[in-house]
Structure 1
């Protein structure tokens, strides 16, 4: 290209920045500058250090010739597409050099060349000028466009010669030049009806480039007749549901002129509202009117539109008429329901006829289409009573119950009298206010609570909870204990209840051996006015803990810590030497007693039965055995933790002790009167045992069949004065004929209060038999029992007691 011979490549370096200046449209491969030299690098370095170009603009216009170190053009550069009309056009580049990493900024200034000629958007423009136009009138012409800048941009216009027209240039504020055509001499259509001009645009480049546009002037005839409508007022009626696109009227006007002066175009008047133009349209050629929107009688029942008929003369002439459009109402609006007053909450005991809300209904339609009636379903305890025009009162009409329906959503239906009728619905919420008409209710008819004895005071026994179906204060419940007696003491001394949450606490520690069961009455009372309440019974059962050690009944240690017994040396293996008897004030497993020989002078001579406490010889006594044998026997219960007691028995082995009865009789000889007394007691005891045995047998048969319990224990219960069964009424019976000792024991008692014991003891080694009656006493007063037995029986009298059989 020729311009390549006249451009110069220049660069400058300021700090770390290099700038090159090049013209646009350089051919591919053109050298911009020696980038390696300008950066102070050897050609050999740029390949080793991997020099590359990164374009900030996005498109890669340049690259590096690694063999020469030159920056060359790699893509076509069009300044106009890249920078537009901007006076300055810089392309920023980044030169990246590796090993070590360096970054340099390079800018390439793209210079404009005159590569674009001025051009017009349209190659031809037609102007219509009436022959009556006065000289001096100006007509704007189209401006030419030139994308180049500077001297290469658009500079001037020229117009071909014509005696009627001249060209004037008008400078705009933004620097543009706008050509204007000026009428220098009046036109005469009859002389020349058409003029043709050539407008040329020139730029300031070298060489100069240009563009042209042809201007055609058509001289128009004068228009001296107005269009006239046949009817100055046109009336028409339309249903408001008329479909869009319906043609409903055609207006017509006449113009006496010929040609364009007689051609008429119809339109709406200049002052026609946009809302009307959105609903209607008119065909500009035929004058036929169409509906293009949706009519709404309720919004606008009629329209009055001005229609203009304008001819195409120069100047244009026009005529006008009016069109009146009346909209006919149809039932196209549903009734509207509104609340005149906000619904008031209603108490559930409100009488019939109580006003809840005022409701109004309206329909924007006219005539029967606007007459509205309201209805509600009959299932609601409400009704609608007509008030003044289009107003209703919503009143109560039935029994209200907040607990069943705390709130009603009343659906009101409004129906107009149109054909077909239209309906609408509205839901009104009505809240029911609570009245204290429900007492608190406990979920259970009674509560059963089990508490360990020896509990910590303040221990929470249980919690009771009642439910009140009412609301607010009417449903707030406080709990209290109704005063009653437990063992002649107020129940409030035993327990305490939290009035807010119904938690019941013990006031002190319970003792199972003194109190086994009691009941309390809890009252739940709401805070309504008047308040309502209900009661529930709480049965509290005290559970036994192993807090009593076994008490030794025989041999008694009241007179000393050691019991002395005698036994002949002639005793054989299995000889019953003595029997240890103990009782435990606890119950159940805690009262099961076992016996164990802890220490013995000769452990091979004696043994203790684990369950009966019988002390027997394991072998025959020999002459080598010591004459004095000491046994330490431990009695344990079956509780957790285990409680125990010990008893020491000294057994004296004597020769020639063959008749223990006569020997015993010598030691304990009593008058014959005492023997007679004991015999009498024995007879009574045996008779009582017989009767009680028969009664016990019958009761056991009945109760064991019912309860399917083990054969060793059955329960008999009788109703006490408190109205519920007392499971602690016991009858204990044991008859043993094993060995040389005969004994029977009958125990009966109320575990809640007192117990009775009847014991009859027979021994062949005793000169007499003894019957002991233990008066009613507390089950825990074992020391008194021991004293009674000890006073009636000497140490040599053997009394045996087997494991008790409980009869409930």
Structure 2
């Protein structure tokens, strides 16, 4: 068994938990308070912050506010202690009239996050309105011939209060002739009648003064009085009578002006003028009834006058008097109770408040955007309103209270797709036919930084001539950001790295705003053929987003290097060649060779050799190969030839303009017995050259076969590149690509190795290969050269040009490389 002490401990522990649960339930539901009307300023209504589950410290930061429909200054909240108090005078009768229920509906709104609470404050009635009669003095005419128990209807008093405070009791001052009869029926009002208890005698009593007192049921009681002045009339002793004392009529509120309400028919037992009846409204009828209805004095027809509105007045009680023309005139009374029937003549009303705009595109689902209130002045089904929303796929309406809705987010937003939504709320009532009303709100979507800058393509190829001026504009990068404002503000920067021994920023720079890329120094094709780097684009959002683009800058060669002569052997100068030649050698014998290289590439590095005419115009027995630099005899030497031959060889490239170098060759002619070593050395050199050339031709044939097999792939690549946009050229003006052709003697040659030719990555230096096709026009002296070709040259020519078709196949990829591929072809001499 559990002791009572332990049960007490458990109860003490459960009380806080139960209290928290109760507060939580209150915060989720509707909070109700009550306050008496006419309460003084500052009267305590309720601890609204505590009942809604809000902390006092968060009321101000979360923008705690109270909104009420209609009057906004009746109630107020102290943000220091969270107490709801009376701010100004509350008059229940002014606020709600005679409605049984009267309340003030408050919307309590807090932000961050947005929450809405509904608070209803019931206004309780107090007895602050005394009963009031329509008139202060009422004159009643009674004939002396009236029978006992004759009745005269009286207009009761009106009390603006409700309930017990409006429950009236009547008391008539004491009289021997009259007493007061109160008849209670199913109508809201009571029927009062002044009843004759003793016969009247005008000659004895001509006037009787009575006081009618009305007392309400409030505490303390309030009273109202009316003085009844009764005049006793003589002669005409029959009054007009109606077939019923109360007529109940129902009218649609939209009846046309002049519609017949009722035709009264009263009778009088007298004859002649005493039976002629005239109808009129009672003097107690309010002015509002007189503006809405009209009575025909002779026919007793009551017709509508003006427009009736159920929403203004639902019930009209019309007192009618029928007078006869007797002397004195007598009257009969009846009441017409006109009850209006509601029709659907009022469209719903839609109001949108507390907009939380603009809404961020990354707002979570369920975020409250606006508060929507709907109302319809009609009653019953005609006043029942339903709401629909367009569009329905992004937003939805959540009912928070009767006729109160919250517009909330129901789908993911993307400002880049749609930046603004026009949301239309349609309210439709349940009438037949139904009426509707619409209200729209423009929902602007605020941008967040969710898109990185994007380049049109991931890589750009740029051609720039070498020796460009410092600060030359070579290219412009441009990235687009789909975001807005600062989130779309793009800035550019280099992705720094090392280019050999130097930093990338020493070669190029990029303007942060325009994206223009500048070459900071003159570029040298011989030092740097390809500069590959990345440019970063970054927006100004928080956090910033970015992307990179690759630039391949090809440095195009210019003819800025003259041919350089190579020394013929160790210990010799590069500009003079000495050789001993036997006089016994025949025509076409190679006696020496001039070697030269050019640091340029391609066409600018293609060298040709020319033998300058001897002084005095004497013919020389020697000639030089146009592209080989080999010096050979044109005929057999004889004794008439000078023992010392001084030859001047001009080495020239094919650049524009061409650059040249001059080599001096000294030949000593000796008899065959005197220079056997020289001859053997020459023969040995020729044999070695022939062997080397044969080896080169073997590799050449292999290369031709390999290149031929790639022809189809090259054609496909060419077609694809032709369909794509041509690469942009640098602002410094790249040179026009040119096709390099060969001499009549086709040859293959290799250039010296160069350092730092391609800066996109580390790797061994590359060599340049250049092919010459035997289709050039013949230069000066070419006819003699064809006649005097050495066996090795003839062999090379035959091996290189054995088929014109294969020669074109070999040359085709290099043409494509020059004109199409992203990078210039590499040539050497």
Shorter-chain TM-score bucket reads 0.3 to 0.5
If each structure's helix is expressed as a fraction of its own residues, which one has the higher value?
A: 2
TM-score by length of 2: 0.45
Q: Which has the larger radius of gyration?
A: 1
Tell which has more relative contact order, 1 or 2 (C-alpha 8 A, sep 6+): 2
TM-score by length of 1: 0.46
